[in-house]
Structure 1
Amino acid sequence: MVSPSALSAARTAPDRRERIRLMAETMRERAATDGACDRNALRAEGFTEAEIVSYADDARALLSDRQHALRVRLSPGKREGLALVKLARRIRRCQQSKEVARG
């Protein structure tokens, strides 16, 4: 099992897109020669377990030419922070409308 900190580091790595492209190329090359590309083949090419877990789906999507393959994912903390900002804005609007209604 991969540690959460290693997964987080892989997901937020500055070279994430390049590593996904490299993984997709590796998968394509291995599939052409061996008929398949498994975790052991990716490890042999230098990918860490955290990278394999984090990037494999995006690499497969890139191979199948899906448009959103390299979409940047927000970290859970960032998503939670954005949700809290939206909630705070709704609360402020509600309070302002109550103040306006009072006069």
Structure 2
Amino acid sequence: MPGVDSEELMWLQELTKNFSEENKRRFLSIYQGRRQDPQTILICSLIGLIGPAGIQRFLLKQIGMGILYLFTLGFCFIGTIVDAVNHRKLTWEYNKKEAIESAALLGLKDF
């Protein structure tokens, strides 16, 4: 899968180790449509320094934080800078949640 780092790949392999090949294909199809790329989150965070702040939070489905960032200029740019530094962690947490939800959606795991 393109754009997946080794830690995420190992976690996905552990999550899908008991899946049949057909279920793995179905899971990966759903997961690829839901996951976010860390570079996209970084770029959106950096855009918040010169334009509308909080785009990265909207992409991570954190609507409340996105609105808060938008109205406070990313907490006076400090929150935006912190998000730019922590973009990998934010993306990893989001992608992990989406992987679990994708597996649950297929009825493959009970979480």
Under a length normalisation based on structure 2, what TM-score does the superposition of the two structures give? 0.32
